[in-house]
């Protein structure tokens, strides 16, 4: 069986190399003088060099910010760069092209590629080996590069440069080739989710990098350190390396470049606003429509971590969310339908805030979230939610309908929503009375933490278990779990619940016990 596996691996590798050969064909009719002239011209322009030698990778034009980083790294032989670029921004591929440029032009000679495990490091090194072996354009300009030592995890090209894969914690002894110590260290995919849950592992791995690995270098020769990785935890190797790069940036010897898939300001990453209002930072490759499609297929927390360098830890504020049975609606003193609009009327772009509308009620000291809506919808669809919730209640209790309407929202409410409610009245042949909530609200996180967190911690904030399959309720749970003091992820639904809870508490304080402890419809019923 082992021989069959080995044979298949060889066949797969041969096919991989053949694909590279097919994608890098070139007109080889140039004379030697023409070829050398062209090679020198390309080497003087690293960006054109990459377009020319790697058409299989550089299929889209680089963004301007990518070009800036590429030239910055190439210009500085002694440099410490941390590239925290979101998924689909080609950080590992661009690093590979930079390194291959440096070794083929003779600037660097000994490369260590390091990852969370040896197997992963070997996998990441494979495109280097494959291109040195099969890239026809590299062969055309620099000759065949497959050397005598040619193993999956370690090889030396004809140009003389050595490459070796290492797993975190593995002994780096033997990395010197002849008299050349490592002059390029590439930690890529160094962190793992599992490791980041154990601070002792993070400490151990980063200490290994800064001692055993870093000091394989020569003290008299410049070292290029290129980290590739997203911020997947508040404390991880990438964050520690990034902070070191920031220190060195003050001396002109480092950079921590954070790029989100969308950004408002290309030089100032801001996860929440980038998610809500940003534009594609590499529009040549990633269209706005495609970003929307990809992001809509996964959870908001996954999007924040992988696309916006924002590892939102579940349980920062709300340790858990309780799902439970809701008492019969007629046993509540009253119900509140609290709604929070966003001004956007666009349903397709993920760069818009959520609209929210939730039916809540207080019963024996517990706040129940009975049902509701949380989504990006048009303004008319938002108005329809009031009628859907009204139909859900079916006259089993009095519902007070509120819509957030602060001073900034008021013109929009009067000019847009009042006419839409009038249209809905005719459409459904029913009047739903809406009360604008015009209170001047304190800081959002302070309200959420102060009013909802203690309630939730005591098990008195309950989401309706009968609505657990409702995607709107699922989004609400997810937003609860992403609440942090910085509110770096969307919290529109949670804010809506706080608004309704405040109104409900205010109304309860105005009632006497005798007026709200006895139900008036279907007394004792457990049915919705």
* CA–centroid distance for 128 within its chain: 27
| pLDDT exceeds cutoff 60 at 20 | yes
Average pLDDT for residues 482-508, to the nearest whole number?
A: 87
**Is 520 a residue whose pLDDT tops 50?**
no
Is 3 or 56 the better-scoring residue by pLDDT?
A: 56
**Is residue 137 scored above 90 in pLDDT?**
yes
Q: What is the pLDDT of residues 207-243, one digit of tens each?
A: 999 999 999 999 999 999 999 999 988 889 999 999 9
**Per-residue pLDDT at 318:** 83
- How far apart are alpha carbons 82 and 104 in whole angstroms? 23
154: left (phi over 0), alpha (psi -120 to 50) or beta: beta
Q: Provide mean pLDDT across the span 390-415.
A: 84
Q: Would you give the distance in Å from CA 493 to the centre of its chain?
A: 20
Average pLDDT, stretch 441-465? Answer: 88
| Whole-number Cα distances in Å, 112 to 69, 167, 216, 443 | 21, 10, 10, 49
Task: Give residue-wise pLDDT tens across range 288-337.
Answer: 999 988 887 776 777 888 899 988 655 567 878 999 999 999 999 999 99
Q: Using pLDDT thresholds of 50, 70 and 90, give the confidence band for residue 386.
A: very high
What ranges do the domains of the chain cover?
60-259, 322-516
* Predicted local distance difference test score (pLDDT) of residue 244: 96
Pairing between β-strand 355-363 and β-strand 335-340 as defined by DSSP bridges: antiparallel
Contacts of 49 (CB under 8 A, 6+ apart): 42, 43, 101
Nearest 5 degrees, angle CA 188-CA 189-CA 194?
150
| DSSP symbol at 150 | B
The whole-number pLDDT of residue 345 equals 52
* Whether pLDDT at 352 is above 70: no
Q: How confident is the model at residue 27 (pLDDT cuts 50, 70, 90)?
A: confident
Model confidence band, residue 54 (pLDDT cutoffs 50, 70, 90): very high
The residues that bridge with 115 in the sheet, in sequence order, are 167
Class of domain 322-516: alpha beta
DSSP 105: T
Per-residue model confidence (pLDDT) at position 12: 85
Check residue 517 and give its pLDDT: 38
Give me 186's structure tokens: 């590439």
pLDDT value for 348: 46
Our CA dihedral for 16, 19, 21, 24, rounded to 10 degrees, sits at -130
**pLDDT value of position 174:** 67
Between the CA of residue 186 and those of 80, 183, 225, what are the distances in Å? 10, 10, 6
Q: Dihedral through CA 394, CA 384, CA 408, CA 412, nearest 10?
A: -130
In three-state form (DSSP H/G/I as H, E/B as E, the rest C), the secondary structure along 429-483 is CCCCCEEEECCCCCCHHHHHHHHHHHHHHCCCEEEEHHHCCCHHHHHHHHHHHCC
| pLDDT tier at 409, thresholds 50, 70, 90 | low
Give the C-alpha separation, 141 to 134, whole Å. 13
pLDDT score for 524: 37
Spell out the residues 6+ positions from residue 11 whose beta carbon is closer than 8 angstroms to its own: none
Residue range 60-259, CATH number: 3.40.50.300
In angstroms, how far is CA 323 from the centroid of its own chain? 28
pLDDT at 522 over 70: no
Q: Concatenated DSSP letters for 39-94?
A: HHHHHTSHHHHHHHH-TTT--SPPPHHHHHHHHHHHH-SSEEEEEEEPTTS-HHHH
* CB-based contact 375:439 (threshold 8 Å): no
Distance of CA 425 to the CA centre of its chain: 42
| pLDDT > 50? residue 423 | yes
Residue 518 has pLDDT above 90, yes or no: no
Q: Rounded to an integer, what distance in angstroms lies between the CA atom of residue 494 and that of residue 482?
A: 10
Compute the average pLDDT of residues 451-461: 88
Q: Would you state the pLDDT for residue 349?
A: 46
At 394, is the pLDDT very low, low, confident or very high (cuts 50, 70, 90)? Answer: very high
pLDDT at 526 (0 to 100):
37
Tell me the pLDDT tens digit for each residue of 472-489.
999 999 889 888 777 777
What average pLDDT does the segment 94-118 reach?
Answer: 96
What's CA 134's distance to the chain center, in Å?
Answer: 34
List beta partners, residue 254.
80
Question: What is the gyration radius of the CA atoms in the chain, in angstroms?
Answer: 30
For the cut 70, the answer to whether the pLDDT of residue 372 exceeds it is yes
Long-range contacts of 520-526 (CB under 8 A, 24+ apart): 520/330, 521/330, 521/395, 521/396, 521/397, 522/328, 522/330, 522/396, 523/330, 523/331, 524/328, 525/328, 525/330, 526/327, 526/328
Q: In angstroms, how far is CA 448 from the centroid of its own chain?
A: 24
Instruction: Copy the structure tokens of residue 514.
Output: 């005798």
Pairing mode of beta strands 184-187, 110-115? parallel
Rounded average pLDDT over 5-11: 64
Decide if pLDDT at 60 tops 90. Answer: yes
Distances (CA, A) of 165 to 122, 154, 228, 311: 5, 6, 15, 28
Q: Which of 145-149, 369-373, 489-493 has the highest mean pLDDT?
A: 369-373
How far is 24 from 43, CA to CA, in rounded Å? 18
What's the CA gap between 20 and 321, in Å, rounded? 51
pLDDT 10s digits, 156-205: 999 999 999 999 999 887 677 677 899 999 999 999 988 888 888 999 99
């Amino acid at each position: 069986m082992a021989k069959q596996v080995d044979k298949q691996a060889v066949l797969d590798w041969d096919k991989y190399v053949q694909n590279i050969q097919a994608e890098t064909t070139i007109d080889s009719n140039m004379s030697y003088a023409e070829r050398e002239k062209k090679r020198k011209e390309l080497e003087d322009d690293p960006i054109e060099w990459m377009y020319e030698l790697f058409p299989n990778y550089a299929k889209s034009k680089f963004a301007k910010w990518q070009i800036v980083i590429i030239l910055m790294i190439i210009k500085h032989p002694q440099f410490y760069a941390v590239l925290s670029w979101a998924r689909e921004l080609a950080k590992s591929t661009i690093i590979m092209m930079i390194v291959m440029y440096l070794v083929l032009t003779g600037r660097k000679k000994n490369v260590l590629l390091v990852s969370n495990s040896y197997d992963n490091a070997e996998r990441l090194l494979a495109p280097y080996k494959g291109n040195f072996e099969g890239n026809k354009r590299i062969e055309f300009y620099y000759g065949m590069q497959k050397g005598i030592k040619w193993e999956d995890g370690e090889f030396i090209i004809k140009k003389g440069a050595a490459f070796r894969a290492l797993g975190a914690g593995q002994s780096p002894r033997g990395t010197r080739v002849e008299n050349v110590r490592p002059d390029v260290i590439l930690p890529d995919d160094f962190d793992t989710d599992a490791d980041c849950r154990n601070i002792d592992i993070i400490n151990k791995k980063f200490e290994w990098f800064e001692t055993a690995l870093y000091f394989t270098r020569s003290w008299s020769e410049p070292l290029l350190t290129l980290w590739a990785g997203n911020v997947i935890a508040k404390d991880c190797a990438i964050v520690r390396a990034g902070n070191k790069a920031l220190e060195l940036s003050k001396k002109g010897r480092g950079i921590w470049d954070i790029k989100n898939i969308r950004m408002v300001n290309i030089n100032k990453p801001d996860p929440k606003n980038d998610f809500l209002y940003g534009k594609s930072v590499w529009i040549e490759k990633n269209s706005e429509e495609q970003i929307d499609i990809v992001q809509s297929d996964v959870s908001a927390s996954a999007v924040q971590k992988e696309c916006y360098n924002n590892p939102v830890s579940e349980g920062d504020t709300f340790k858990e969310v309780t799902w439970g049975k809701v008492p019969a609606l007629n046993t509540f003193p009253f119900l509140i339908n609290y709604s929070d609009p966003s001004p956007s009327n666009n349903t397709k772009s993920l760069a818009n805030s959520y609209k929210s509308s939730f039916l809540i009620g207080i019963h024996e000291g517990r706040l129940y979230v009975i049902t509701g809506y949380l989504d990006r919808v048009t303004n008319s669809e938002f108005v329809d939610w009031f009628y859907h919730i009204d139909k859900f209640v079916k006259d089993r209790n009095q519902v007070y309908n509120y819509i957030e309407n602060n001073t900034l929202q008021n013109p929009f409410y009067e000019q847009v929503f009042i006419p839409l409610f009038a249209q809905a009245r005719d459409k459904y042949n029913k009047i739903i009375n809406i009360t604008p909530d015009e209170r001047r609200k304190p800081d959002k996180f302070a309200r959420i933490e102060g009013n909802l967190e203690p309630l939730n911690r005591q098990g008195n904030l309950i989401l309706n278990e009968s609505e657990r399959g409702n995607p709107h309720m699922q989004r609400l749970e997810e937003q609860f779990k992403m609440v942090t003091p910085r509110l770096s992820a969307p919290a529109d639904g949670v804010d809506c619940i706080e608004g309704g809870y405040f109104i409900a508490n205010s109304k309860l304080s105005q009632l006497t016990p005798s007026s709200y402890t006895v139900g008036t419809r279907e007394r004792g019923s457990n049915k919705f």
